[in-house]
Structure 1
Amino acid sequence: MKKQYKKLSFIAMLVLVLAACSKWDGYKKYTEAGETIYSGKMDSVKTFPGKNRIKITGLLPADPKIVKCKIKWNDGKDSVMYDITKGIGIDSFSKIVAIPEGIYNFTIQTFDAVGNSSMKVNAAGTAYGAKYESGLSNRVVNRAELMPSGKAELAWDNLDAASGALGTWVRFTKVGDVVDSVFVPLTQTLTSIDNFKPGSSVVLRTLYLPKPTCIDTFSCQQQTVGVKYEITSQYLSNTGPGFQRATFDGRWGTLAAPWITNAAAKNKGGLYGGYSSDAGGVINWETWNNTPVTNGIVYQTTSSPLPAGKYVVSFDEYSELQANSTIYCVAAAGDAGIPVLANLSTALGYVGAYNGANIGATSPSATDTRSFTFTLSSPSVVSIGFLANIVGSGNPGSYIQIKRIQLFSTN
């Protein structure tokens, strides 16, 4: 029995020795070329987005043997190699990689002089470019207007800072043809520009930072915005408040030159119409006592051609119009006057005497300001006036007072 136990013990020991030899032979095939030596790997790697480029930073370990750093992307298809001059301590690494717009995964390794590499370090980064910029928009200007003081005012719409917007550069021209600019931050809602040159425009360019860590600032395509300024006195006259009269019967009358009044506008005995002395002198029609107006027109023509550009006609009125009555302010090219109702579509522009959505309803019993725009592609004189189609309906009838008319340029 004792001999059998010794025999079993010997066999077990032999099996263990053979197994150990087998493992050692398996390990030797991995070390036949010698021990693997690694270069020190980069630490604390960060990426910073830019415009068609990405900045990559990190810390190089205290390994004086490091002489190169290789950065690869696109699954290793693209790469760049940098020479490293290394001291004995920890050094910082900072390089900018020129790269097309997109999102990338980078693999970073360091190398010593004989080609030993470090373990791989991975990092992701983003480059922005033309595609990103094409989606940017300038901050909206709700109102751009030259004030009587000579200051231009720009009233801004809100723009969320979460969009990455930083603010807007505004370029403008002052009196004396001095070109200047100002940066408007997002927090500013009203910008005033002193000594603004009448008739000039402002040029906008809003700046963006896609992310707070971005190394480049992006901007929209520049946008030109016309500044509204009044040119009434340069081209029109007798425009109120306090319209001047020609013929007059004590209340009703006709407008003084340069206004022209057609026969259809004279609904007071065929002699008077289009004017009353109410409120100090107004353009006026009233159809109490069954005195309708059909295609009644008062207009004047600009004293000289308006330059090509964009314009606004504005007027202040008070009206009480019945459902089947309309009054339009109209602008038409040339000096032949403004069209009748059937040809209204041929006008440069027009607007009803009160909110067009409510034509057919009684307008509010208060003064309202109405306006419309028109554009000239080439210089032209323009006829501007009022077209009335007011049906008489006993008492009450329809009634309107136009207290002032103004012409603005928005070039």
Structure 2
Amino acid sequence: MKTIYNTFKLFLLLVSGAFISCQDMNEVHEEYIKDGEIIYTNKVDSLSTFGGKNRVKIKGYITGAFNVNEIVVTWQDGEGQQIFPYNKSTQDTDSLALIVTELEENSYEFKVTSRDADGNLSVANIAFGTAYGERYRSNLEARTINHLSFDGSNMEVLMGLGTELQRGTEVKYTNTDNEEIITTVVREENNVLLENVSINSPIAYRTFYVPTAANEGIESTIDEFESDWETLVVPSFGNVLNSVVFNPVLGGLEMEWSNPDGAVLVYTITYTVNGVIKTQTINSSDVNGEAIVSGMDEGEQIINVSVADAYGNSFGPKDFTVTPIPAQLLDKSAWTIFDFSSEEAGGEGLVNGYATAAIDGDVNTFWHTQWGGASPPFPHHFSVDMGAEKTIASFETFRRQGNGNGQTKIKFLISTDGETWTDLGEFSVDSKTNDGQVSAIKSAPTARYFRYVAVEGPTNFAYLGEVNVYGLE
């Protein structure tokens, strides 16, 4: 009997505890529903941001939002707010593109919620974005200009490689009809042609940027920002070309020019001999310069000149009408080699390798310094007896055809007796061209013997396809 009593007592205690617990839970719940039960609208998902010019674009998706009529974006703990109307489409899921405007240049934490007509809000979703402004823009620089070339009418401007944040570059100039022209160079291109440009008027350029790089080809910003306009500095040495004059001399012309700044310049002279294009290159920083252009055809003809600096900027070519004093290609039938520093005897074949291959009248055969058993260093030379005294206007040399590894600097010496030598000076040669290269001698000296000297080059070896002499027999 006592056991039944204790069991009943325990049952009453459990029922009382359960009643009290339920009462406590109802009190907790009442705290949240005292103003009515909370209703949440559909949440905006998959947020991403795109920075812009004092604005940010927020993209996202909302699904099943039949009761939603606006999207609310807040930032800075609610101090900033912008509301976007929302109209449900016929699709279950809608994409959103919300552009928050009038933002100061800064980074932001945006809270994005949806709201229905009764004012019910969704759970907020967070997105981080940056608005850019004048502080960012003022630090931008126009795309680099590597060099330019001007032919007297058109200017080609070569730019540095575009970066992933750069977009188009605008170039603004005035043409010879006094019209302002603006042309755009896209990031993937490096050069732009300014047609009929007036170099006496300012040439300006600026580059557009985006703050962040594209991700898998999709832009991450919605606006471009332009750098300040910069002025293209046209090198002053263009006036040097206008100072060039030619005077006729034996076998060619004497060229004179004025270079007031004393800049290190490269003068390239191009002309035609018997239908073959000839090129002569002169490196000089002389304020009042002069040089001889030799080995030319008889009669009136066109010669053109370009001038360039060490940075690749160039002017020209400019055409000149000239009439040189005739000189002739000297006959080689009596020429002999009487001295040489080195030759490759047999390793290049029956003709090639020997010094005699340089005076045999065939540019396709060649002299080669020794490589079998030894490879003596620069300088290398061979000496020629022309059989009688000749008046020398110029030397013409041809590299070993198709081979650009030979000497890049040469010199010539002359003698009347083969023992006492007069140095005519050093000449630079282009080892990358098969064309004949002229080394003109201003004094037009008389000599029976000459010595060809290879002064320096990229390896120990020197080689030469042919050497000619222009002058008078």
TM range (shorter): 0.5 to 0.7
Answer yes or no: is the 8 Å Cα contact 1:40–1:66 preserved in 2. Answer: yes
Query: In the alignment, which residue of structure 2 is the partner of 1:96?
Result: 99
- Where do 1:123-272 residues align within 5 Å? 123-148=127-152, 150-161=153-164, 164-211=165-212, 212-228=219-235, 230-232=238-240, 236=243, 239=244
Query: In the alignment, which residue of structure 2 is the partner of 1:13?
Result: 15
Higher normalized contact order (CA 8 Å, seq sep 6+, divided by chain length): 1
Answer yes or no: is the 8 Å Cα contact 1:200–1:226 preserved in 2. Answer: no
Task: Identify if the C-alpha distance between structure 1 residues 73 and 219 changes in structure 2 by more than 3 Å, giving closer, same or farther.
Answer: same
TM-score by length of 1: 0.56
Answer yes or no: is the 8 Å Cα contact 2:162–2:188 preserved in 1. Answer: no
Report the alpha carbon displacement of residue 50 of structure 1 after superposing the two structures with TM.
0.9
- How far apart, CA to CA, are the structure 2 residues paired with 1:371 and 1:28? 86
Query: In the alignment, which residue of structure 2 is the partner of 1:307?
Result: none
Q: Which amino acid aligns with 1:223?
A: E
Answer yes or no: is the 8 Å Cα contact 2:166–2:209 preserved in 1. Answer: yes
- How far apart, CA to CA, are the structure 2 residues paired with 1:328 and 1:94? 63
Query: In the alignment, which residue of structure 1 is the partner of 2:58?
Result: 56
Aligned length: 275
- Where do 1:9-408 residues align within 5 Å? 9-86=11-88, 90-98=93-101, 99-148=103-152, 150-161=153-164, 164-211=165-212, 212-228=219-235, 230-232=238-240, 236=243, 239=244, 281=254, 313=263
Report the alpha carbon displacement of residue 233 of structure 1 after superposing the two structures with TM.
6.5
Sequence identity percentage: 23
Report the alpha carbon displacement of residue 53 of structure 1 after superposing the two structures with TM.
0.8
Structure 2's unaligned 5+ residue stretches are 213-218, 268-283, 289-306, 312-420, 428-439, 441-473
Task: Identify if the C-alpha distance between structure 1 residues 85 and 192 changes in structure 2 by more than 3 Å, giving closer, same or farther.
Answer: closer
Report the alpha carbon displacement of residue 117 of structure 1 after superposing the two structures with TM.
1.6
Answer yes or no: is the 8 Å Cα contact 1:199–1:227 preserved in 2. Answer: no
- How far apart, CA to CA, are the structure 2 residues paired with 1:100 and 1:312? 52
Task: Identify if the C-alpha distance between structure 1 residues 204 and 9 changes in structure 2 by more than 3 Å, giving closer, same or farther.
Answer: same
Task: Identify if the C-alpha distance between structure 1 residues 144 and 87 changes in structure 2 by more than 3 Å, giving closer, same or farther.
Answer: closer
Q: Which amino acid aligns with 1:230?
A: G
Q: Which amino acid aligns with 1:173?
A: T
- How far apart, CA to CA, are the structure 2 residues paired with 1:36 and 1:187? 56
1:334-393 deviation line (CA, Å, top 9, x unaligned): xxxxxxxxxxxxxxxxxxxxxxxxxxxxxxxxxx98789xxxxxxxxxxxxxxxxxxxxx
> Is the partner of 1:231 in helix, strand or coil?
helix
Report the alpha carbon displacement of residue 400 of structure 1 after superposing the two structures with TM.
10
- How far apart, CA to CA, are the structure 1 residues paired with 2:285 and 2:16? 115
> Is the partner of 1:28 in helix, strand or coil?
helix
Report the alpha carbon displacement of residue 22 of structure 1 after superposing the two structures with TM.
2.5
- How far apart, CA to CA, are the structure 2 residues paired with 1:154 and 1:87? 52
TM-score by length of 2: 0.49
- How far apart, CA to CA, are the structure 2 residues paired with 1:108 and 1:44? 11
- How far apart, CA to CA, are the structure 2 residues paired with 1:301 and 1:28? 96
- How far apart, CA to CA, are the structure 1 residues paired with 2:169 and 2:259? 40
Task: Identify if the C-alpha distance between structure 1 residues 37 and 189 changes in structure 2 by more than 3 Å, giving closer, same or farther.
Answer: closer
Higher helix fraction: Structure 1 or Structure 2? 1
Report the alpha carbon displacement of residue 153 of structure 1 after superposing the two structures with TM.
1.7
Q: Which amino acid aligns with 1:151?
A: N
- How far apart, CA to CA, are the structure 1 residues paired with 2:169 and 2:254? 46
Structure 1's unaligned 5+ residue stretches are 245-276, 284-298, 303-310, 318-326, 332-367, 373-394, 404-411
Answer yes or no: is the 8 Å Cα contact 1:46–1:123 preserved in 2. Answer: yes
- How far apart, CA to CA, are the structure 1 residues paired with 2:187 and 2:246? 39
> Is the partner of 2:38 in helix, strand or coil?
coil
Answer yes or no: is the 8 Å Cα contact 1:200–1:227 preserved in 2. Answer: no
How big is the alpha-carbon RMSD for the aligned residues of Structure 1 and Structure 2? Answer: 4.0
56-65 vs 215-224, which moves further: 56-65
- How far apart, CA to CA, are the structure 2 residues paired with 1:188 and 1:180? 19
Answer yes or no: is the 8 Å Cα contact 1:100–1:127 preserved in 2. Answer: yes
Answer yes or no: is the 8 Å Cα contact 1:64–1:87 preserved in 2. Answer: no
> Is the partner of 2:232 in helix, strand or coil?
strand
- How far apart, CA to CA, are the structure 2 residues paired with 1:41 and 1:121? 7
Report the alpha carbon displacement of residue 312 of structure 1 after superposing the two structures with TM.
7.7
- How far apart, CA to CA, are the structure 2 residues paired with 1:223 and 1:232? 26
Answer yes or no: is the 8 Å Cα contact 2:71–2:86 preserved in 1. Answer: yes
Answer yes or no: is the 8 Å Cα contact 1:152–1:227 preserved in 2. Answer: no
- How far apart, CA to CA, are the structure 1 residues paired with 2:172 and 2:39? 61
> Is the partner of 2:196 in helix, strand or coil?
coil
- How far apart, CA to CA, are the structure 1 residues paired with 2:106 and 2:142? 24
Report the alpha carbon displacement of residue 138 of structure 1 after superposing the two structures with TM.
0.9
Answer yes or no: is the 8 Å Cα contact 1:146–1:152 preserved in 2. Answer: yes
